[in-house]
Amino acid sequence: MIIILFGIFLLALLVITALAIVRSDNLFAAVILTGIFSLLMAANFFLLDAADVALTEAAIGAGISTVLFLGALALTGEHERGGSQNRLVALGVVTVTTLIVIYATFDKPRFGDPDAPVHQHVGSWYLEKTPELVDIPNAVTAVLGSFRGYDTLGEVFVVLTAGIGVLFLLSARTAGRPEEFPVADDPDQGLRHYLVPRVVGRMLIPFIFLFGLYVQFHGDYGPGGGFQAGAIVAASVILYALLEGEARALRALPMRVLKWLVAGGALLYGGVGVASMLLGSNFLDYSVLASDPITGQHIGIILIELGVGITVTGVLLCVFHAFAARGRV
């Protein structure tokens, strides 16, 4: 009961933040508010038992998406001109649709009902079979990596495609290769002159990186996995780039290496699938990777999660550097 009331408090804050985002004329303020919105959303997910999703939303929504939006704002200007167009029509459409959707919610199964249709199909089967077939404690990782490995492979390729798309769009005028425009190691770059960000940042970066690795390799046992870890590792490198300037971040991890990471992770994932085919089973059936099917599942899941983590890190960092490089030319 207390938890539900707390959840409703968080939901009220969510609605208020969303209204503030839409009403704000200053895009910089709106972007910072979206960071807060994501953090509140993550807290809500956590209350709804979705620890993995909360971790992802906090790392991606509150961390990386804010940085990307700010990077785009730096190139497009932060002030919005001319409020809303066709305001009354839009308000009318939105109000009517809200009322229809709210009317439809009365037919939905009761909140938390264990007999709701959504729990009657494969969901409960996954929960029942995970200890027997995959034998890892985190059912979310088992479903993501093993039972629905095809879906996840598809998602990784969507991420890969989006990363390639951003590189195509934004490196068009820099003759295709942002790394050929050497960034001078200008001491004024980054936040090096500001004492507090520098000290706090330098202290935090190694721990964020280490936490990313922990989330990557502990994903079988607790909340975590490749998607979250990729975002956290990318966040630590982005923080380094913001503090020390982009030049030093590119010296540590050049674009060349990042592009290999982007493709390498997806190839590793696909390679595990091909390996299981060569060993005489179906694509992405990890049971044949070791003499014992359960060990095979463990090896397969660790390998594909690693592939996911590498691709997500690579894509997020490539996108970040593409936006930053666009500001220089």
Partner 1 sequence: MELLGLVYYWVFAILLMIGFYAVIAKPNLIKKLIGLSIFQAAVFLLYITMGKVDGGTAPIFQDGVSLYSNPLPQVLILTAIVVGISTTALGLGIVVRIKEEYGSIEEHEIQERDRQ
Residues between 165 and 184 that touch partner 1 (CB under 8 A): 165-166, 169-170, 172
Q: Does 159 bind partner 1 (CB under 8 A)?
A: yes
Tell me how far, at minimum, the Cβ of 34 lies from partner 1, in Å.
Answer: 6
Task: Verify binding: residue 328, partner 1, rule CB under 8 A.
Answer: no
Question: What SS3 state is found at 6?
Answer: helix
> Shortest CA distance to 319 belongs to which of 115, 143, 159?
159
Q: In sequence order, what are the beta bridge partners of 26?
A: 79
Tell me if 2 contacts partner 1 by CB under 8 A.
no
From residue 3 to residue 32, what is the string marking binding to partner 1 with x (rule CB under 8 A)?
-xx-xx--x--xx--xx-xx----x--xx-
* Other residues' Cβ atoms within 10 Å of the Cβ of residue 254: 13
Instruction: Record the tokens describing residue 233, joined without a space.
Output: 């590792």
The verdict on 310 binding partner 1 (CB under 8 A) reads: no
C-alpha 14, offset from chain centre = 20
CB of 253: closest distance to partner 1 in angstroms?
18
CB of 174 to partner 1, least distance (A): 12
Least distance to partner 1, CB of residue 15, Å: 6
User: Is 310:268 a contact under the CB 8 Å cutoff?
Assistant: yes
User: Of residues 6, 29, 39, 108, which one binds partner 1 by CB under 8 A?
Assistant: 108
Residues 36 to 65: which contact partner 1 by CB under 8 A? Answer: 37-38, 41, 44-45, 48-53, 56-57, 60-61, 64-65
The 213-242 contact track toward partner 1, x by CB under 8 A, reads --------xxx-x-xx-xx-----------
Q: Does 200 bind partner 1 (CB under 8 A)?
A: no
Nearer to partner 1, 131 or 206 (CB): 131
Could you tell me if 225 and 213 are in contact, meaning their C-beta atoms sit under 8 angstroms apart?
Answer: no
Q: Which residues touch 326 (CB under 8 Å, ≥6 apart)? A: 75, 170, 174
Question: Should residue 82 be labelled a site residue for partner 1 when binding is judged by CB under 8 A?
Answer: yes
Q: Which long-range contacts (CB under 8 A, 24 or more apart) does 272-276 make?
A: 272/300, 272/303, 272/304, 272/307, 273/149, 273/153, 276/300
Residue 9: closest CA among 38, 47, 51? 47
Span near partner 1 by CB under 8 A; candidates 118-126, 174-182, 253-261, 286-294: 118-126
Work out which of 43, 62, 143, 235 binds partner 1, going by CB under 8 A.
143
Q: Are 32 and 66 in contact (CB under 8 A)?
A: yes
106-120: buried (b, 16+ CB within 10 Å) or exposed (e) per residue? Answer: eeeeeeeeeeeeeee
Nearer to partner 1, 162 or 274 (CB): 162
Least gap, CB of 214 to partner 1 (angstroms) = 15
Between CA 269 and CA 134 the distance in angstroms is 18
Q: Which of residues 281-300 bind partner 1 (CB under 8 A)?
A: none
State the number of binding residues for partner 1 (CB under 8 A). 109
Asked if 314 contacts 229 with a C-beta cutoff of 8 angstroms, the reply is: no
Q: Which stretch binds partner 1 (CB under 8 A): 155-163, 196-204, 250-258, 296-304?
A: 155-163
CB nearer to partner 1: give 177 or 193. 177
